[in-house]
Structure 1
Amino acid sequence: MSGLAGVTAGQSSICTCGLGNGLNYRGYDIADLALKADFEEVAYLLLVGELPNKKELKLFQDKIIEARQLPAAVKEVLRAIPASAHPMDVMKTATSAYGCVFPEAEDFSDQMDKITKLLGAFPSFLVYWHHWHVNGKEIDLISEEQTMAGFIVERLKEKKPFDVEVKAMNAMLTLYAEHEFNASTFANRITASTLSDIYSCMTTGIGTLKGHLHGGANEVAIKFVLQFDNVEHALAEVDKLFAKKEKIMGFGHRVYRELDPRSPIGFELAKELKELETSDPKLFDIAKAIRDKVKAEKGLPDNIDFFGGLIYHYMQIERLYYTPLFIMSRAAGWAAHAFEQRANNRIIRPSSEYTGPEPRAFVALADR
């Protein structure tokens, strides 16, 4: 079947989506996790199978914080990557370099240790490379912010984040952390099924996530919203797109037909962020008007990427960094799937439907 639509490709105990009960990680509703837990609790849940107690969370979080300090070899690689490089390639290359410095054991006995450190290192890859090439300096990777969400915002912008920014970033990390057998996760599981190391699984996921049909939708969605001066201008342009039967990025979903359960959370976060002094509240009104029109006239619900792009924009985050932030989040889900695949493994090797020529005789070069 084209695109494997409707094909069940394996079993997993990690996540449910599109089964009539919303989106759940290990049985917990996404709204509860996004708004009531720190991302570190959610990452632990995905990796271990249960929410951590206070002691378990402290140990997990301490190891993540410690891993923010990058080894000299990785810093050297990040400095050598040119400023013109795509940030996704920066993340992929730094992940490979990190794996060279801290290789995983052949029997995967240290897989939890390795992914915990990598969760701490991911934000530092982007932060370090950004400040070296954009601001021409070596950024200090020490921060008073204990959570990954706070660290990302504070170190990128080099100023104490507003509480609402940390809340929004934390929720976004959770909302994007896992989504069953999506393209990057399935690709990651294929790599895991060969019994390759965790870094190879992560770089597989990163390479797949880089594709415009997977990880970059929120970048395109906010770019669309930013081109309009007011609501009337936006709605007129949407009518033109309807007439030409063109798609609007951020609407519809391969799995969710009626509602992306992450979208109402994203909507409320964007609504809160628009009140910041640095925000343009008009953009929220434009986005809301577009959402309502597309839903009313085409029956298409918005997905998390539509208001997700506005959330990052309100936090003044560089647009090309939206998908690297996705990595920092989804890596927890990728690793959980890699662990699961390798624990009960059979190499993933589907068949294809052949559409080429029938068997034919070889013709010697002189007779062609």
Structure 2
Amino acid sequence: MFPPVNQEDQDDQACEVHFTRQDRYRDRPRLEDVVAAETGLGLVDGAAGRLVLRGYDLDDLADWSFEAVLALLWTGLTPTAMTEADIRRELGAARGHVFLRAERLLPVTDGLAPVEAMRFLLSSLTDAERIPHHILAVAAAPVFAAAIARRAAGQSPVAPDASLGQSADFLHMLHGELPGEDRARALDSYLVTVADHGLNASTFAARVIASTRAGLFSSVVGGLCALKGPLHGGAPGPVLDMLDAIGTEANIRPWIAATLARGERLMGFGHRIYRVRDPRADVLKGVVGTLRDSAARIAFAEAVEAEALAQLAEKKPLRPLETNVEFYTALVLEALGFPRDSFTNVFAVGRMAGWTAHVLEQEAQGRLIRPQSRYVGPMPERATAAG
């Protein structure tokens, strides 16, 4: 697939345009800058450091509930219009429904990594489910993630409370007690921040699968499989490993200098798309400031951030490397008590909003995603000789 050309170039010169566009991208075999879908859901503007969801800047959504952002993303895509209250009520009921399945299947996940256990449990959702599939997928994710984390800690799963919002119930199912309002609000902000981020690898995977009419559950499982990769959703945990390795304030400067001298990456800095600020990092930095019980850890992390940015600017002045979402994600999720090996699953709980919206949008468009490839292998000898 290639970017569109002017309409006047698409008539009598169709063949010429075809070859011209192929030549233009001959040295770029990947999909950078190639438009692969049209969407009304989100805009990622890396040059401006801006993330827009359905006409709202992320900064304006930071105080919204997760359910309110779901209502925004699902607008016009569900069979009936749904308000924030509708979604909260239906998610609560669906969490109770799926918990029974989690209890039954959890023993089968023993020995699996948390994200592999999540993949298995999500795969148990079938196309015959009577609850609307977009509701069930979003409701199931925190139930499964909390149950997996508790079983790894040798604890029994906690049944959901349908009267709670998604974020408060997620923390309740993880810790076995009702969270404070500040902690529930902090998790809400995190889930909103990661709800959608354009045509990233996992969302693109989900849309490709949806375009085959495989169904929503198959699509979001495919999204999770892409999120599992360390180049996409597996990075927040290593940010904490980095902070642990640095250890003390006195060690910050020499540790960072030695790491950069070895040509190694500092976890939580730089982004493939954003060339200036990552707006998600800005939102989560504000969230971190509300978690007072982790003040010492956060102050240490902020000192690491300041020194890292200073050394990166000095070492690579022509390449902007700012703090990215991974850095403050790690601090927020650690402060909320999530085990670091469960961070990818928590990411999936938030991104399930975007996956389901993109799947619904792709299904409505009804067109199979079938890009072309450029063959670079050998040709049969006979064909070569004949030519």
TM-score (norm 1): 0.87
Distance apart, 1:205 and its partner CA: 0.2
Q: How does 1:208-287 map to 2 (within 5 A)?
A: 208-273=226-291, 275-276=292-293, 280-287=297-304
The equivalent of 2:337 in structure 1 is: 316
User: In structure 2, which of residues 135, 138, 152 is the aligned counterpart of residue 119 of structure 1?
Assistant: 138
Gapped runs of 5+ residues in structure 2?
A: 1-27
SS of 2:52's partner is: strand
Contact 2:246 2:252 in 1 (8 A): yes
SS of 2:279's partner is: coil
Deviations 1:123-160 (A, max 9, x none): 1112223334523434332365x221111122212233
**Change over 3 Å in CA distance of 1:133–1:265 after alignment to 2:** closer
Which one-letter code corresponds to 1:65 in the other structure?
G
Distance 1:261 1:49 in 2: 27
The equivalent of 2:18 in structure 1 is: none
Distance apart, 1:201 and its partner CA: 0.5
The equivalent of 1:98 in structure 2 is: 125
The equivalent of 2:182 in structure 1 is: 164
**Change over 3 Å in CA distance of 1:233–1:115 after alignment to 2:** same
The equivalent of 1:293 in structure 2 is: 310
User: In structure 1, which of residues 347, 351, 367 is the aligned counterpart of residue 372 of structure 2?
Assistant: 351
Residue 64 (1) aligns with residue 94 (2): no
Distance 2:378 2:85 in 1: 61
Runs of 4+ in 1 over 4 A off after TM superposition: none
SS of 1:276's partner is: helix
Q: How does 1:8-157 map to 2 (within 5 A)?
A: 8-18=35-45, 20=48, 22-35=50-63, 37-48=64-75, 56-69=83-96, 70=98, 72-82=100-110, 84-99=111-126, 102=129, 113-142=132-161, 146-157=164-175
Deviations 1:13-35 (A, max 9, x none): 11011163711110111011112
Which one-letter code corresponds to 2:54 in the other structure?
R
Distance 1:148 1:231 in 2: 37
**Change over 3 Å in CA distance of 1:163–1:71 after alignment to 2:** closer
SS of 1:227's partner is: helix
**Change over 3 Å in CA distance of 1:135–1:356 after alignment to 2:** same
**Change over 3 Å in CA distance of 1:100–1:80 after alignment to 2:** farther
Moved more, 88-97 or 1-10: 1-10
Distance 2:210 2:127 in 1: 18
Distance 2:151 2:29 in 1: 44
SS of 2:125's partner is: helix
**Change over 3 Å in CA distance of 1:143–1:344 after alignment to 2:** closer
The equivalent of 1:335 in structure 2 is: 356
The equivalent of 1:200 in structure 2 is: 218
SS of 1:68's partner is: helix
Contact 1:23 1:29 in 2 (8 A): yes
The equivalent of 1:189 in structure 2 is: 207
SS of 1:17's partner is: strand
**Change over 3 Å in CA distance of 1:75–1:237 after alignment to 2:** same
- Number of equivalences: 347
The equivalent of 1:366 in structure 2 is: none
Distance apart, 1:48 and its partner CA: 1.6
SS of 2:184's partner is: helix
**Change over 3 Å in CA distance of 1:330–1:196 after alignment to 2:** same
SS of 2:289's partner is: helix
SS of 1:4's partner is: coil
**Change over 3 Å in CA distance of 1:318–1:354 after alignment to 2:** same
Which one-letter code corresponds to 1:237 in the other structure?
W
- Over the aligned positions, Cα root-mean-square deviation in angstroms equals 2.4
Moved more, 10-19 or 193-202: 10-19
Q: Percent identity?
A: 27
Gapped runs of 5+ residues in structure 1?
A: 104-109, 363-368
Distance 1:91 1:136 in 2: 17
Deviations 1:283-331 (A, max 9, x none): 3333333443255323311111111111111222100111101111111
